Amino acid sequence: MPTSSMRKVMRRNERRLLLLVAVWGTLLQANALLAQIYLPKPPPEPSQYGKVILDNHAATGPGPVVFDHWLHRSKFSCRLCHVDIGFAMQAKATGISAASNREGFHCGACHDGKHVFEGKTIFAACGDTAEDKQCSRCHSLGKKEARKNDYKEFTARFPKGIYGVNWEAAEKSGIIKPVDFIEGVSVKKAPMQSREDFAVEPAFSWVNPITFSHKKHSVWNGCELCHPEIFPAAKKGTIRYSMFSNIEGRYCGACHGKVAFPLNHCQGCHASGPLWAP
Amino acid sequence: MFKRKIVGAVLLLGLVGPCAAQAADEPRRSAAQADAEQKSWEKEFDEVCSKTQDAMTFSEEELKDLIRRCDALLPQIEKLDESQRKVHLGRLRKCRGLYAYVLDAKGNEKK
């Protein structure tokens, strides 16, 4: 027969256990909630991935522009547009206007009705002559007119990866040859020196290390697109790169998750995926 | 009397004529000057920013010199028309930023 003092101890222990379970449960729920917030969102359909809606003058002009990254990235390097032509990496930071296009900047750097690409004259963006007025070709959001290039048709012969087109394989096989120079816009440079690839050791033992292809990234981006604005100079080990910062759009997340392959594609960087992967 | 008037008119024309011609020539000259200035900063811009691919191979002194040349270009680019200024300021910022980044990285390596 338990004495009254024993009963007291048992009740106290029960209360403590209950409290422990409650705290543990709350922590688990908080953890799950945080994971919801910080897990990369599933990417849209490959045809919609990297789509940019430019609505600088939506209220008064011909309506927002729909820009498909997949079409332009098959023809030009990232560096050409984001360094030489001056398209910012953040929304609404470029300040594109019909006037700047007509003056030969931004879209007008190529879309001037004069530049010839793959044997065809590139149509003029925001041209002011009657034959140049093809506004709906770009200002197409919510318009019924079919866009000239269809993703499925355009990428039909491109090698596919786990998520849409495998752009690296497409370039390797010679199907695409992204141009990195435009006469009158780009600065003539010596060919890019091959950069050494390097390993990025993860902070956690349950994540596979990354083999970062400096070579591939520098060929498409040059040096100045990433350094120092995306990856600033810092003493080794002082900046902690994490999936959290990537999801927030910093570091690798400046491109991956927006235009370059999505962050959910673990094997794209962590060569053999997470350690729990089969 | 009449002769005096003729001489006066000739003198006046002689004085005013070259001034008027000079005044008419002024915009043409300033346009040419602006064109030359444009070409000169563009040449310097191309020269400075064509070396970004090799930034890692430069010595600290060479990098400092490139940064100084970028800084010297800034006031000239700031004078340009809006679109050209916007594009070239962005390009210059990236170009200067890279040289400063490599300089910093070299400094960090030494520490």
pLDDT of the residue at A278: 44
Give me the tens of pLDDT residue by residue for chain B, a chain 111 residues long.
556 766 666 666 665 555 555 665 666 657 777 777 778 899 999 999 999 999 999 999 999 999 999 999 999 999 999 999 999 999 999 999 999 999 999 988 777
Q: Which residues contact A110 (CB under 8 A, 6 or more apart)?
A: A85, A117, A122, A182
Q: For the domain covering A51-154, report its CATH number.
A: 3.90.10.10
CB contact A229 to B (< 8 Å): yes
**Between chains, do A235 and B57 touch, taking CB under 8 Å as contact?**
no
- Output the six-digit token pair for A122: 């590139």
- Give A188's contacts in chain B (Cβ within 8 Å): 46, 50
Which residues make up the CATH 3.90.10.10 domain(s) of chain A? 51-154, 190-278
On whether any CB of chain B is under 8 Å from the CB of A144, the answer is no
Which value, in Å, is the radius of gyration of the alpha carbons in chain B?
25
Average pLDDT over residues A212-235: 92
Percent of chain A clearing pLDDT 90 (strictly above): 56
Name chain A contacts of B94, Cβ cutoff 8 Å.
83, 224-225, 229
Please report the pLDDT score of residue A18 as a whole number.
93
Q: Is the CB of residue B38 less than 8 Å away from at least one CB of chain A? A: no
Which residue from B minimizes the CA distance to A222? B53
A48-52 long-range Cβ contacts below 8 angstroms, 24+ apart: A49/A163, A49/A164, A49/A259, A49/A262, A50/A258, A50/A259, A52/A91
Residues 60-89 of B with CB under 8 A from A: 81-84, 86-88
The pTM of this model reads: 0.81
User: Which tokens hold the place of B95?
Assistant: 């170009």
Kindly list the residues from chain A whose CB atom is less than 8 angstroms away from the CB atom of residue B106: none
Residue of B nearest to A102 (CA): B83
Residue in chain B nearest A232 by alpha carbon: B101
Backbone φ and ψ of A212, nearest 5°: -85, 120
* Fold exhibited by the domain A190-278: Cytochrome C3 (3.90.10)
How far apart (Å, rounded) are the C-alpha atoms in residues A112 and A187?
Answer: 19
- Contact A233/B at CB under 8 A: yes
pLDDT in tens, A161-189: 988 999 999 999 999 999 999 999 999 98
Domains belonging to chain B, first-starting first, are 2-110 (1.20.58)
Q: How many CB pairs below 8 A link A and B? A: 78
Q: What interface predicted TM-score (ipTM) does this complex get?
A: 0.82
